Amino acid sequence: MNNTADECIAEVSSCYHPTPYFEIDTPFIPAHEWPLMLIDMALSRGVEEYKLLRNTGIFREDIPSKNLQLSPQQCFQLIHNIQKQHHHQELGFLLGHSLFSSLETTATRALNRATNLQAAIDILVDQQTQLMPLLQLRTCYEQEHLVIYWQDACGAETTLIFLVEMISTALSSLTRWHCDENIPWQFYVTHSKPAYIEQYEVHLHNKVQFSSHANAMSIARDYLYIPWKNNCAATPTDALPITHPNLQSMPFHRGFLSELYNYLHSNIHHNPSLDKTAAAFGMSSASLKRKLKKHHSHFQEQYDLVRKDLALYWLHQAGWSKDQVAQALHFYDVANLRRAFKKWTGGLSASR
């Protein structure tokens, strides 16, 4: 490869400055949308209400007012309570099947009017705070495939598995409906094969690779621009102003961990330390540490996540040498990169 390391580093966008973000305790998620769907599903399967809503601060009778807004932490607690129940395994998949088809919002209407998969993905990226606020969507072309990565937006911890099951099912269900066929998605998840593997077989059709390096799903580029048959035709009401009470005034586009990831990813060539990052986010290093702890993480974990993702891409997609990657990621030599990479991924591998 002829590029110098400095030329390769220049491929990463520079001078990214943090933008407003929501935090784990920011109330903005409409309770009457997917949280209510999830609550009703759990109740219909015999989960007792007091167990379902324990420590969430949610009262079922308050939801129909359509004014109740939940924080991500409340949603995480709701999912955590469900995960403790014996028959929880199918709920994430079932919610996924209904996520984009049963909710009647401006964002879901736009999604269902998409003319092809690429248009739908563009809407998902643009409206992700409304459509899937607890996850960060990141897309990347890798050879002949488009890969969609799902990342923790603001401290999901163990509920991340439920969220990935839900969103993977939601997108595959959406494409199956609009294309009248099973689109050959390939799914990747970071967790090991669960005891309830039959749910993956039923809902994701045995196309799942467990213990991967990232939560993702990929599709061949050939499917991106195939016209969708069942997209909803635009109607005069579609031109009406946005009616969601927060859609226009919402001052953020992603969660705190997502924004931190974007900052570190875009400024990797500056070797962003804890102090530099804290200053960029307008706070002291101690404050950044506290905020990261509130979101169940720490700086080194987030920095290593970014370096792992960049190393995987540069090595296996961009064709960089190990020397170039080591220099770009600020390692003294390839040996140090190799040790770090083994710690991050369990060994040098092109697999996600």
pLDDT digits (tens, 9 = 90+) for 272-298: 999 999 999 999 999 999 999 999 999
Classify residue 153 by burial, with Cβ atoms within 10 Å: 0-12, 13-18, 19+.
buried
What is the predicted pLDDT for the residue at 237? 40
Same domain for 274 and 182: no
Nearest to 78 by CA among 102, 101, 95: 95
Q: How many structural domains is the chain composed of?
A: 2
Is residue 134 included in any domain, yes or no?
Answer: yes
Query: What is the C-alpha separation between 78 and 126, in angstroms, rounded?
Result: 26
Question: Token match 């045995």: residue?
Answer: 206
Q: How many CB atoms lie within 10 A of CB 300?
A: 10
Q: Which two tokens stand for residue 160?
A: 């991340």
Last residue of a domain, one of 239, 272, 289: 239
Query: What is the C-alpha separation between 25 and 328, in angstroms, rounded?
Result: 35
Is residue 245 included in any domain, yes or no?
Answer: no
DSSP lists the bridge partners of residue 138 as 149
Is residue 263 included in any domain, yes or no?
Answer: yes
* DSSP notation for 263-280: HHHHTGGG---HHHHHHH
Query: What is the C-alpha separation between 56 and 79, in angstroms, rounded?
Result: 10
Same domain for 203 and 89: yes
What is the predicted pLDDT for the residue at 249? 57
Is residue 244 included in any domain, yes or no?
Answer: no
Is residue 62 included in any domain, yes or no?
Answer: yes
User: Which range marks the domain in which residue 95 is found?
Assistant: 29-239
Same domain for 215 and 276: no
pLDDT tops 70 at residue 248: no
pLDDT tops 70 at residue 1: no
Last residue of a domain, one of 199, 215, 239: 239
CATH at residue 175: 3.90.1520
Nearest to 187 by CA among 207, 166, 202, 160: 207
29, amino acid identity: I
Same domain for 176 and 118: yes
Same domain for 10 and 44: no
| Beta-sheet strand order (sheet of 216-220) | 135-142, 145-152, 216-220, 186-188, 208-209
What backbone torsions phi and psi does residue 204 show, to the nearest 5 degrees?
-120, 5
Same domain for 269 and 176: no
Same domain for 47 and 79: yes
Question: Token match 């991340």: residue?
Answer: 160
H or E segment and range at residue 219: strand 216-220
What is the predicted pLDDT for the residue at 17? 86
pLDDT tops 60 at residue 160: yes
Is residue 271 included in any domain, yes or no?
Answer: yes
Is residue 250 included in any domain, yes or no?
Answer: no
Same domain for 64 and 166: yes
Same domain for 15 and 52: no
Is residue 136 included in any domain, yes or no?
Answer: yes
pLDDT digits (tens, 9 = 90+) for 119-138: 999 999 999 999 999 999 99
Query: What is the C-alpha separation between 121 and 34, in angstroms, rounded?
Result: 20
Query: Strands (DSSP E) along 79-214, which ranges?
Result: 135-142, 145-152, 186-188, 208-209
Task: Name the least confident of 83-97, 115-129, 261-275.
Answer: 83-97
Same domain for 288 and 191: no
Same domain for 281 and 209: no
* DSSP notation for 279-337: HHTTS-HHHHHHHHHHTT--HHHHHHHHHHHHHHHHHHTS---HHHHHHHTT-SSHHHH
Same domain for 36 and 171: yes
Query: What is the C-alpha separation between 83 and 85, in angstroms, rounded?
Result: 5
Task: Name the least confident of 64-68, 89-93, 116-120, 197-201.
Answer: 64-68
Last residue of a domain, one of 239, 265, 287: 239
CATH at residue 334: 1.10.10.60
Query: What is the C-alpha separation between 153 and 295, in angstroms, rounded?
Result: 9
pTM above 0.85, yes or no: yes
H or E segment and range at residue 110: helix 106-112
